[in-house]
Structure 1
Amino acid sequence: MELHHLEAFSAVMSAGSMTGAGRLVGRSQPGVTRMIQELEQEIGYALFDRKGPRVTPTQRAFLLYEEVERSLIGLDAIRASARAIGLDAPAPLRVAATPALAAALVPRTIAALAQHEAPLDVQLRSASAEHIVQALLARTVEVGVATLPLDHATLDLHYIVEAPCVAVLHADHPLAGPGVLALQDIAAHPVVTVANRYRLRRRIDAAFADAGLQPVIALETNASLNAVMAAHARLGVALVDPATAFGTRIAGTVVRRIDAHIPFLFGVVTLPGKPLSSGASRLIEALGHVCVDLLPDAVRHAAAQHDALMTRRANPSRTHTKGVPA
C-alpha cells in the first residue's frame, strides 16, 4: 500500500470528488482516479460509489478513513520530529484534549508557561475521550486531557480535577438573577445539556433523578459550547461543565451555581514507561494550577481516587466554598 494512494484517498474523502481531491494534492483528476482504483484493487473492495464527477464513500470507506487519518497524522508527527532533529530543536509537544478542555484550559496553560519560561511549541488537537486514548496508544500525541472515566491499564493517569457543573443562561432569563439556582427551579424551564450518556450527562441525569425531578430537555448536543450558545439563543438553561462556562464566556449570558454538586471530572494521561519530555512535564504541572485558578471550587485529586470518584453520586446538600465570578 503506497503512501500516495492513502493521501489520495484522504483527499477524496475530504473534497467529495476526484477533481477536488486533485486540487488538494496537486494531481490531475485522472491521476487521482487511477490511484483510487489501484488502492481498491489492492484491498479488494470498492471505496466509492461513482455518480458522474462526484463520488459517495461506502461504509467501508468511512471505517478505513479513521485508520488512514491516524496513520497520516502519525506520519506528519514524524516529519515534524525529523525537522526538529535537523535543527537541533526539541520536537513539538503534541497534546490532545476533549473540545471543552482544548478550548478553555490548554491555551491558558501554554500562555501561563510563556509568561515565566521559554514558550512551548505545541500541536493541539481536540477529540473525544475515546479518540484521545487511541491517539496516545498510536503514539501520535504525548499528553491527553480527557473527561473520566479514564481507567485504562495501558495509560498513566497523573491526576484528576473535579469542579462542579454550573448553569448558563441568557442575561434576560427569569432565573438569571444573583444567587444559587435550585435544581427544582431549573427543571421548571427548558434545559439544554450534553448528550454523552456515559460521562457528564450520566451525572446530570442522576442529580435530577435523585431530586425526583424530570426536566424537559429542549436540546442535547455533543459539545458544551453548543449548549452555551443555545442558552444565548434563549432556548433554555444550559447545564454544562465549568471549563466551558468560565473559559469561553459568551457576552449576553450569565453563569450561575446550582444547589446540587454535579461533578465535572477530567484527568491528564500519558503512556506508561515512556519518559516525558520536559515540555510535557511542565505543561502537565501548569495545567493543574490553571484549572484550580480558573474553575470555582476545583479540587485536584490523586489518580488513585479514580474509582471512588466515578461511583460517588451527585450531592444535593453540598455547598460551595468559593464564589462564582460575575
Structure 2
Amino acid sequence: MNFRQIEIFAAIMKTGTASKAAELLDITQPAASRALSDLESDLGFLLFDRVRQRLQPTPEAWQFYKSVEASFRGLDTIKAEAARIRDQGSGRLRIASLALLGSTLVPRSIARFRTRHPDINVTLHVLVSRDVRDLVASGQFDVGLAADEIDITGLNHQLFLSPQAMIAMPVGHPLAARETIRPHDLIGFPFVSYVPEDRARQRFDAILSEAGVKLDIVVETIYASTVCALVTEGVGLGLVSPYVVSNLDKTRVALRPFEPAVSIKTLLILPPDKPKSLLVRDFITALMESR
C-alpha cells in the first residue's frame, strides 16, 4: 500500500468512477484501475462492488475512507504549516540592542519588518552592549546590535555602523559659531564623556593626547542618551553619534562635526553555529534599509 494508491482511492470515492478519478489526477483510466486492484489486494478486502460497469463502494470502503480523509486533513495541516514557515519563518523574533539604536534605528526597522510580517511576535530588549553580547552568544536572542568593545569570540559578527562622531553643545554655546570643532577648541570647557572602556572614548582620547589636549571631564556615563540629556541641561559638551539626532531637542542642543574624525562603531551580532532563519534575514534587510 502506498500514498498514490490511497490518493486514487480517495479520488474515486469523490468522483464515483475510475475514469473521472483518472482525469482529476491526470493519469490514464487503466492506471487508476490497476492501482485500485493493487490496493484491494494489499488491504485484503474489496473496496468496490462492480455493478454494471460501475463502482459501488462497500461498507468497508466507507469506513476506510473516513481514515483516509482524516489523514488527508492532517496532511493539509502539515502543508499549511510548511507554507507559513516558508513565508513567515518560525513565528518569533528576539532582538537585543544597545541604547544608542534602541530608540531610533531599531524601532524604525521593526516597523518596516512588521509590514512584511504582521503576525510575527517581536521581543526587543535595550541593554548595555555586554549584556546584548551575552544574550546573543547564548542563543537566547536572534539578533544583536552592540558597541565594538564587546568580546566577539565565537560570535558571527559584522560592522553595521561607523558614523563620524559629533560634538553636542547647548544652543548659544561659544563653539556653536564654528563649522567644525577641533581638539584645541575643547580646552577650558566642561565635558561629558563615556566611560574609559568605551572604544569611541578611547579613539577620542588618542586624538586628544596626540594633540596635547586634556579635557575637563565632569561626568562619565555609558549611554549616549545620558550624554545628550546632560548636554541639554548645560552640564558640558559631549561626543555623540549622528544617530541620536532624532531624539534631540534641537531648540536646546546644537551639533558640530569633530575633526580628526572619530568613528562610533556598532556591530551586528548573531548566535554562533546557528543558521539564519527567514525572519532573521528579513529583519537584517530591514536594518540595512533603515540605515
Q: TM-score, normalised by structure 2?
A: 0.64
Equivalent residue for 1:250?
A: 249
Matches within 5 A, 1:199-238: 199-238=199-238
Give the percent of matched residue pairs that are identical in Structure 1 and Structure 2. 24
Q: Distance in 1 between matches of 2:206 and 2:113?
A: 38
Equivalent residue for 2:139?
A: 139
Equivalent residue for 1:185?
A: 185
SS of the counterpart of 2:167?
strand
Equivalent residue for 2:117?
A: 118
SS of the counterpart of 1:263?
coil
In the alignment, is the contact (CA less than 8 A) between 1:173 and 1:234 conserved in 2? no
1:287–1:141: structure 2 CA closer, same or farther, 3 Å change rule? same
Bigger Rg, structure 1 or 2: 2
1:122–1:178: structure 2 CA closer, same or farther, 3 Å change rule? farther
Matches within 5 A, 1:218-297: 218-244=218-244, 246-251=245-250, 252-291=252-291
1:159–1:112: structure 2 CA closer, same or farther, 3 Å change rule? same
In the alignment, is the contact (CA less than 8 A) between 2:90 and 2:279 conserved in 1? no
SS of the counterpart of 1:287?
helix
1:248-292 alpha-carbon deviations (Å, 9 max, x no partner): 22241111111221111111011133122222112212223323x
In the alignment, is the contact (CA less than 8 A) between 1:96 and 1:124 conserved in 2? yes
In the alignment, is the contact (CA less than 8 A) between 2:98 and 2:145 conserved in 1? yes
Structure 1 gaps of 5+ residues are 1-83, 292-326
Matches within 5 A, 1:147-158: 147-150=147-150, 152-158=152-158
Equivalent residue for 1:109?
A: 109
In the alignment, is the contact (CA less than 8 A) between 2:165 and 2:262 conserved in 1? yes
In the alignment, is the contact (CA less than 8 A) between 2:138 and 2:271 conserved in 1? no
Q: Distance in 2 between matches of 1:101 and 1:181?
A: 25
Q: Distance in 2 between matches of 1:159 and 1:219?
A: 29
1:36-91 alpha-carbon deviations (Å, 9 max, x no partner): xxxxxxxxxxxxxxxxxxxxxxxxxxxxxxxxxxxxxxxxxxxxxxxx99xx9843
2:194 pairs with 1:194: yes
Letter in 2 for 1:282: D
Equivalent residue for 1:7?
A: none
Letter in 1 for 2:235: L
Q: Distance in 1 between matches of 2:154 and 2:180?
A: 41
1:142-183 alpha-carbon deviations (Å, 9 max, x no partner): 101001135533211144321111111111211123511222
Q: Distance in 1 between matches of 2:153 and 2:209?
A: 32
- Provide the alpha-carbon RMSD of the alignment: 2.4
1:239–1:198: structure 2 CA closer, same or farther, 3 Å change rule? closer
Q: Distance in 1 between matches of 2:275 and 2:114?
A: 23
Letter in 1 for 2:145: V
In the alignment, is the contact (CA less than 8 A) between 1:150 and 1:267 conserved in 2? no
Q: Distance in 1 between matches of 2:217 and 2:150?
A: 28
SS of the counterpart of 1:175?
helix
SS of the counterpart of 1:235?
coil
In the alignment, is the contact (CA less than 8 A) between 1:99 and 1:127 conserved in 2? yes
The number of residues matched between the two structures is 204
Q: TM-score, normalised by structure 1?
A: 0.57
Q: Distance in 2 between matches of 1:186 and 1:274?
A: 47
SS of the counterpart of 2:94?
strand
Q: Distance in 2 between matches of 1:225 and 1:196?
A: 17
